[in-house]
Amino acid sequence: MTRPRSFDEAAVLHDAMDAFRRSGFAGVSIKDLGDATGLTSGSIYNAFGDKEGLYRAAFGYYIDAVIRRRIETYVGEANDLNGLEQLFLSLLCAPESDEHGCLLTNAAVEFGAQPSVASQGLAEGFAVLEAAIRRVVEGQIGGGQVGLLVARLLLLYQGILVLIRAGQNISACPAVIRSEFEQLRKLLP
Amino acid sequence: MTRPRSFDEAAVLHDAMDAFRRSGFAGVSIKDLGDATGLTSGSIYNAFGDKEGLYRAAFGYYIDAVIRRRIETYVGEANDLNGLEQLFLSLLCAPESDEHGCLLTNAAVEFGAQPSVASQGLAEGFAVLEAAIRRVVEGQIGGGQVGLLVARLLLLYQGILVLIRAGQNISACPAVIRSEFEQLRKLLP
DNA sequence: TCAATTCTAGAATGATCATCTTAGAAAGAG
DNA sequence: CTCTTTCTAAGATGATCATTCTAGAATTGA
C-alpha cells in the first residue's frame, strides 16, 4: 500500500542541510529549499509537514551523517588522542570548511538557549560531541582535570568553526591544534 | 536649522543592538525593532534609511561601546597578560553572558564570509579584537610564536561566546581561561 | 510670536512568506 | 487491467514583510 518515496530522502536532506548551513533557518524560504532540493513546496509539506519539520530532519541527518560519522571515522574504537587530533584537523577540510560552517554551531548561535525548532538537535549534537571527547580524555588521561580538558577541547572546536564560517585566516589553526594535543600527550600516564 | 534628534540615539542603538543580538538580522522585523526601540517604522526609516542602515549603526555601536570599551577597561595602556585575562573572564559576565551572545560572533555565523550588510563590521570587529590580543602577546612575550598564541586566544574567545550563546554549561570556562594564561605566563621572559 | 524646517505617527502598498487546496499522475494490489 | 491509494505539481490564500506616503506635531531661528 505505502508507495515508496519517489525521491531520494538522504539526498534531499543533504541538500536541505547545506541550504540551512548556508543561510540559517530564518534566512531560507520554502522556495529556496525547493530550489535546493528539487522538490516543490507541496512535496516538502507532504513529506516533512512544514519548514520546521524539514529543519529537524536535516539537523538529525547532519548529526548522524556528519558528526557521528566523523567521530567514528577518526576516533572509532581506538579512542586515542591521535584520532581525536585528526578529527580536529579534519574540521579544516570539507564539509565544515566549505564556507557554510557547522550546522550545530550555526544553530547554536542562531537560536541560542531558548526553546526552538533546534533545541533537540542542539542538545543531541552537543551531547554526542562532548561524549566522544570525554571518552578519549577519560580513557587516555583521566584524573581530576578531565572536566577542564574536555571544556578546553569543546571551546577549541567551536572556536575553529566560527573562524571557518567567518572566512577568517585559519592558517594558524593546524599549529594550534597540534600544540594543544602535544600538551595533552604530556599528561599521558 | 537642523533640529536635534528627538530621541536618544545611543539608547536606540543599544536597544536595536540587543534585538539583533537576540534574533539576528533575518530573525527580527522592523516591527520588532520598533517595539524594542520605542520608535515607529517611519522614524526608523527616516533616521537610518532602512533595516540594513540600522543594523550597520547598531553593529558600529556594539564595536565601540562594547568591544573597544571592554578592551580599554581591561587591557588599557598596561597591555599586560593580567588585563587580557580579566577581559576573557569578563566575557562570562554581562552583556555577552545575558543569553544574547556577542554581536560579532553572531554576525560572523549568520552571514559567513560572503559580502553582506555585516561585512564591514565583521572586518572591523575582528581586526580590533585581534590587534588588542596581538599587542599584549607581542609586547609581553614576543618571539616566533606570537602568531600561534594570538590564534589560540582568538579561538578561545570565539569558543566561549558560542557556548555562552548556546546556553551550555560554562562553569569550567574560568578554569580553562586561567590555565591558558598560566601557560602564557610561563613564556614570559 | 511666526515661519521655515524637520521630525514622527500611522496607515497604505506591493512583495514575499509559509502554508493549504485541488486536480491529476504514478504505483502497487487484486 | 483496474481500482485504490499516495504522491506531485501548481496555483491560491492570508499573514507578514520591508518600505513609502501623508498629514500633522515639534523645534528653532528670526
- Residue A146 host element (H or E): helix A146-165
Amino acid, single-letter form, for residue B127: A
Distance from C-alpha of B29 to C-alpha of B34, rounded to nearest angstrom: 9
> For B58-107, what is each residue's pLDDT tens digit?
999 999 999 999 999 999 999 999 999 999 999 998 766 678 999 999 99
* Own/partner pairs, A3-9, CB within 8 angstroms, 24+ separation: A5/A47, A7/A37, A7/A38, A7/A39, A7/A43, A7/A47, A9/A47
Distance from C-alpha of A83 to C-alpha of B163, rounded to nearest angstrom: 24
E-strand ranges in A32-178 read none
Give the distance from residue A117's alpha carbon to the nearest chain B alpha carbon, in angstroms: 14
In chain A, residues 82 through 101 whose Cβ sits under 7 angstroms from any atom of nucleic acid strand C: none
Task: Report whether pLDDT(B54) > 80.
Answer: yes
Q: Are B189 and B141 in contact (CB under 8 A)?
A: yes
| Nearest nucleotide over every DNA/RNA strand to the A47 CA, judged by C1' | D7
Residue from the list B109, B157, B172 with its beta carbon closest to the beta carbon of A151: B172
Domain A9-186, CATH among 1.10.357.10, 3.30.1600.10, 3.40.640.10, 2.60.120.380: 1.10.357.10
B29 to chain A: closest CA residue: A26
Which comes out higher in pLDDT, residue B109 or B9?
Answer: B109
Distance from C-alpha of A141 to C-alpha of A176, rounded to nearest angstrom: 20
- For the record, the C-alpha cell of B84 comes out as 587580557
Contacts with A154 from chain B: Cβ below 8 Å:
159, 163
Q: How far apart, in Å, do the first and last CA atoms of chain B sit?
A: 60
B1 Cβ within 7 A of any nucleic strand D atom: yes
> For A68-127, what is each residue's pLDDT tens digit?
999 999 999 999 999 999 999 999 987 666 789 999 999 999 999 999 999 999 999 999
Give domain limits for chain A.
9-186
